[in-house]
Structure 1
């Protein structure tokens, strides 16, 4: 695999976990380092413990969050855990009760009650994440016991890795109140729509986001004008291809090496492809009308009808999970998945279908459909 792809696909590469890959990336070729700095504007961190590419998105999205976290409180507790570990030396041991005491004292909305099950489960999610990221190690005890008994103890050991988790900022982040202010702080000394800054914004969007749409006129014009240079870089560093249409541009790859890409090798992804294909057919037949920017606005009942068509035609070919799912739950899953992949957006006046959705079409081979009907 191309070294750059490993940097993109991993939050970091730890020396203790993968020494071979660590040394390969630590000795990265100069042209790749130059590309990271000049085209993406990312910081490449290398030290005796890890290699980390600090990826900053142009457009933060829900899929970029921590997948095991389910509540905003989880992120608050994570920040408090990081502040706790900041004062610990490498290999220093501490107890679970030391963590709970620190959080209880420093929790922003008053003392946290650990007798409440919801609070304990939130901390367990955070500590499991910290273990998976190698911030800490368990020397003795069972964390799962904490869910049943708030007096349960676990002996931990600090690895020192956590101090590299949060990226460096050019300004004091306590002065910011929104993530937009944090992102825009990078462009304080230049015009976002010109020169080097625009180039970095375009590369970040293409390399990290699902698509760039034509409503961003400045970026889209740059993509069309610099398409050959962009294509060359995308081939070299992602082994992909740049696709440019009237109102959309995106990067396509030929395999499933990327964890966050659409479509995926999942049944829900297949269902969404079938829905995209059905929508495209209705557009071609004149049953649905595109707007000038190639988006499509439909109401909820129209979408329900499209989903029902797919259910009636293909449900028997789906996995058991989706065959047995109620219409409302399936609808919820589909809308959430399509929203995450920038195919659709829920609005007050209906559902906005983005141009990218009409570039995909899913269908089962005819012999599979025929075989399924014969088995009925």
Structure 2
């Protein structure tokens, strides 16, 4: 009996260990998937542990992303990168540090310059400027480096490359060059330089229009090829965009979302731990943790707090029948309605707001709030005047009903929370 009991205990312990190992494996896989989706790449030098986790689970990660998104997982001896792209570019997808289209152009031409460099090659900023200028001149574009604004564009481009780890700074400062062109900066090239721009499955000259550049895979012209292409479109949007309402899907894609809802929710929960919820307005996904690799709403910015307060005030207005809820669960507000709700919040809570928000007029505050909600797909303006400026109705997403916020007083500390 004693021997049998010992054996039973050993079996239970073995099963428990296997379960713990499986859970740890799942957690690591999700950490890898999130990092690959949200970082430009993962290098062995900067995050060795995560790099080796990806290497250990490379086959599973590669196959999942290839099957459901068409994204290609690249793995070298020094880095791992998920080659990804959105179906359509959105304003919030750019580099927030960049202020002009010229910044992006110089960023790209600086990458062209780095293609001729090998790892640990050293060069100076003025070498980049000279060769980029010659290349641009050959295309009919003249750069005027006497113009301070154009120099600042180059500075922003180079600083972004440094931030990404593409350029390794050795000595000097770009801002000094912007003020005095006789100054210089010494750089080295990192192995990541040739992996910044994404891979295209066809020669660039074969693309006829801008929308074609979102291709990540060449699909066969068969029924299976079309089904795979549709699956990739759906998963790419769900993973990259904050939310996609039913009205935003093409009819074929919406049919897939509706009929394959359970499979989509299971797949995204398995690989990324995302929790799906079906609203009348659409299928939306939420990350259960308070922090993560991905950008989450509410953000750390004070405007997110204001959106949460706005959601609570809107719920109270609906409870008083002051607002109409559509069949899709959305709420349509005029600009006056938005400002009226903000006025009530301002009267009650402005003491807790940042100095910037307290000093804003209702019109400025409404613009800031609706812009933030639009970027997070929590609402959108419908209707414009002839100049494309006047916004007639702000349609608040049904997902906003998920939140209700207010300020509370911590009695022990005597502070707001």
TM, length-normalised to structure 1: 0.89
8 A Cα contact 1:207 1:251, kept in partner: no
The answer to whether structure 1 residue 96 and structure 2 residue 125 are counterparts is yes
Query: Structure 1: which 5+ runs fail to align?
Result: none
How far the C-alpha of 1:42 sits from its partner, in A, is 0.7
Deviations 1:36-57 (A, max 9, x none): 1101211001112210011222
Q: Secondary structure at the match of 1:100?
A: helix
Give the number of equivalent residue pairs.
373
Greater C-alpha radius of gyration: 2
Q: Secondary structure at the match of 1:110?
A: coil
Q: Secondary structure at the match of 1:128?
A: helix
The answer to whether structure 1 residue 210 and structure 2 residue 239 are counterparts is no
Q: Secondary structure at the match of 1:157?
A: strand
Map of 1:173 onto structure 2 = 204
1:110 to 115, 121, 141: 141
The answer to whether structure 1 residue 120 and structure 2 residue 120 are counterparts is no
Q: Distance in 1 between matches of 2:276 and 2:330?
A: 20
How far the C-alpha of 1:354 sits from its partner, in A, is 4.2
Map of 2:263 onto structure 1 = 229
Map of 2:304 onto structure 1 = 269
Map of 1:358 onto structure 2 = 400
Q: Secondary structure at the match of 2:266?
A: helix
Q: Secondary structure at the match of 1:212?
A: coil
8 A Cα contact 1:277 1:362, kept in partner: yes
8 A Cα contact 1:276 1:357, kept in partner: no
Q: Cα RMSD between the aligned structures?
A: 2.8
Deviations 1:240-270 (A, max 9, x none): 2101112221111122114412222432111
Deviations 1:203-234 (A, max 9, x none): 22222211121122433332332232222222
Query: Structure 2: which 5+ runs fail to align?
Result: 1-27, 385-390
Mean Cα deviation higher: 327-336 or 239-248: 327-336
Deviations 1:20-74 (A, max 9, x none): 2212212225333221110121100111221001122234322221122121111
How far the C-alpha of 1:149 sits from its partner, in A, is 1.0
Map of 1:240 onto structure 2 = 274
Q: Secondary structure at the match of 2:200?
A: coil
TM, length-normalised to structure 2: 0.80
2:189 to 158, 162, 180: 158
8 A Cα contact 1:277 1:358, kept in partner: no
Q: Secondary structure at the match of 1:243?
A: strand
How far the C-alpha of 1:167 sits from its partner, in A, is 1.0
Map of 1:287 onto structure 2 = 322
Map of 2:10 onto structure 1 = none
How far the C-alpha of 1:280 sits from its partner, in A, is 3.7
